[in-house]
């Protein structure tokens, strides 16, 4: 039984169906993908600063690279590369450390000095840039394409998917999961996966468990058609300002602010659009002439150390967590589905050791801290 029909729940459902796990049911309170997945901008990168995130990226990349063969759906994966820009000495030091770590995994990440960045990206304001990193394996794909690939394949593998089915209660008997009750039905099951995205903590409360995931609003904006002289433009991150941009069809996608206070608010506001535009004009002066055409907001599912919370829960047998992706859930969804299906069917995730991502790390004080505040797409 899987609660949540976003990209994570559907990837888990697909992998369980694929391995002929018996009766697999997925319950979605609204429509498939209506949560964070439909608000996501599809970024996929190898450039992470912790080993565990790099492992999830590399494993997921195998699926994105062969998505069409496996699922019969074109994921629209565009490897435009990610360019991280450093503007302080501390960032330079951290980025260079990241390059060493990423290269250990065979990732072809490059350190670029300011002259090389100027040569490749003549549209950037350069006076405060001290260097940057670029990886040609990074890029972005279509969240709705990937979601439908997983859901079509899950259904084909026999998974039963219910939309409009909101889980209201999870039944536990003597410390063991026995089933769930929705707005209309009861289902019995010895295993329940929490794939509730930003709602993960509300689902945790149903078994008296504190799942430390906060919903934080992120806004993004898209310009009307606009060109920067036909250049090939990587997804570019002004790390210090927490701002990024990339091509979006004929215009540009500009990141807006990330809220500091948790809420389920998914409206866009004028101040956020102004902030996104100011950051854009600062780093790419030519964008002053671009016009914002639309915008939207969605919820990140932030954990205390910006890493996922995966696996079993002490004291509630059969309850499995697949939460807290902290803005990286789309790109890691293929690997997450695989490891959670291994955990359920084999008792242990073998493709990647997920023990560092256990919920118990918060009580034990074993947080997975990154060298600097994590970047979020």
Ligand X SMILES: Cc1cc2nc3c(=O)[nH]c(=O)nc-3n(C[C@H](O)[C@H](O)[C@H](O)COP(=O)(O)OP(=O)(O)OC[C@H]3O[C@@H](n4cnc5c(N)ncnc54)[C@H](O)[C@@H]3O)c2cc1C
Q: Which residues in this chain contact ligand X in the complex, by CB under 6 A?
A: 3-9, 27-30, 34-37, 39-43, 166-167, 195-199, 203, 218, 220, 298-301, 325, 327-331, 377
Q: CA-CA distance, 253 to 250, in Å (whole number)?
A: 10
Q: CA-CA distance, 45 to 47, in Å (whole number)?
A: 5
CB nearer ligand X, residue 30 or residue 285: 30
CB nearer ligand X, residue 8 or residue 109: 8
**Nearest distance from C-beta of residue 79 to ligand X, angstroms:** 14
Q: CA-CA distance, 86 to 60, in Å (whole number)?
A: 27
- HSE-CB at 343 with a 13 A cutoff on CA atoms is 26
- The CA–CA distances, whole Å, from 18 to 58, 155, 224 equal 21, 10, 42
**Nearest distance from C-beta of residue 81 to ligand X, angstroms:** 14
**Nearest distance from C-beta of residue 326 to ligand X, angstroms:** 7
Tokens of 52: 């565990």
**Nearest distance from C-beta of residue 143 to ligand X, angstroms:** 7
8 A C-beta contact, residue 312 and residue 343: yes
CB nearer ligand X, residue 85 or residue 237: 237
**Nearest distance from C-beta of residue 45 to ligand X, angstroms:** 8
- 235-238 and 243-248 as β-strands: parallel, antiparallel, unpaired? antiparallel
CB nearer ligand X, residue 2 or residue 86: 2
50: which DSSP letter?
A: S
CB nearer ligand X, residue 76 or residue 166: 166
Q: What is the largest CA-CA distance in the chain?
A: 66
CB nearer ligand X, residue 37 or residue 98: 37
**Nearest distance from C-beta of residue 30 to ligand X, angstroms:** 5
**How many residues belong to the chain?**
377
Tokens of 363: 């009580």
Tokens of 137: 């394996």
């Amino acid at each position: 039984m899987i609660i949540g029909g976003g990209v994570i729940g559907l990837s888990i459902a697909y992998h369980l169906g694929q391995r002929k796990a018996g009766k697999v049911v997925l319950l979605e309170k609204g429509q498939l993908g209506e949560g964070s997945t439909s608000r996501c901008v599809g970024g996929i990168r190898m450039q992470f600063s912790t080993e565990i995130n790099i492992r999830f990226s590399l494993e997921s990349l195998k699926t994105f690279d062969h998505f069409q063969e496996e699922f019969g759906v074109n994921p629209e994966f565009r490897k435009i590369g990610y360019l991280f820009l450093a503007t302080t000495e501390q960032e330079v030091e951290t980025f260079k450390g990241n390059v060493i770590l990423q290269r250990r995994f065979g990732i072809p990440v490059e350190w670029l000095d300011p002259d090389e960045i100027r040569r490749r990206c003549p549209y950037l304001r350069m006076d405060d840039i001290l260097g940057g990193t670029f990886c040609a394996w990074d890029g972005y794909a279509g969240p709705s394409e990937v979601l439908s690939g997983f859901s079509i394949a899950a259904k084909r593998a026999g998974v039963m998917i219910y939309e409009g089915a909101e889980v209201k209660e999870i039944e536990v008997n003597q410390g063991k999961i026995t089933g769930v009750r929705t707005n209309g039905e009861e289902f019995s099951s010895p295993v329940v996966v929490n794939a509730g995205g930003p709602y993960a903590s509300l689902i945790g409360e149903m078994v008296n468990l504190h799942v430390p995931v906060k919903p934080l609003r992120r806004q993004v904006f898209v310009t009307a058609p606009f060109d920067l002289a036909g250049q090939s433009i990587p997804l570019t991150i002004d790390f210090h300002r927490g701002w990024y941009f990339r091509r979006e069809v004929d215009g540009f996608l500009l990141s807006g602010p990330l809220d500091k206070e948790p809420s389920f608010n998914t409206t866009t506001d004028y101040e956020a659009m102004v902030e996104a535009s100011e950051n854009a004009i600062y780093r790419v002066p030519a964008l002053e002439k671009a016009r914002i055409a639309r915008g939207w907001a969605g919820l990140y599912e932030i954990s205390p150390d910006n890493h996922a919370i995966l696996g079993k829960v002490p004291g509630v047998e059969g309850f499995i967590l697949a939460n807290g992706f902290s803005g990286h859930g789309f790109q890691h969804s293929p690997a997450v589905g695989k490891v959670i299906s291994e955990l359920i069917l084999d008792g242990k995730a073998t493709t990647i050791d997920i023990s560092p991502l256990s919920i118990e790390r918060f009580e034990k004080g074993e947080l997975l801290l990154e060298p600097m505040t994590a970047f979020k797409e």
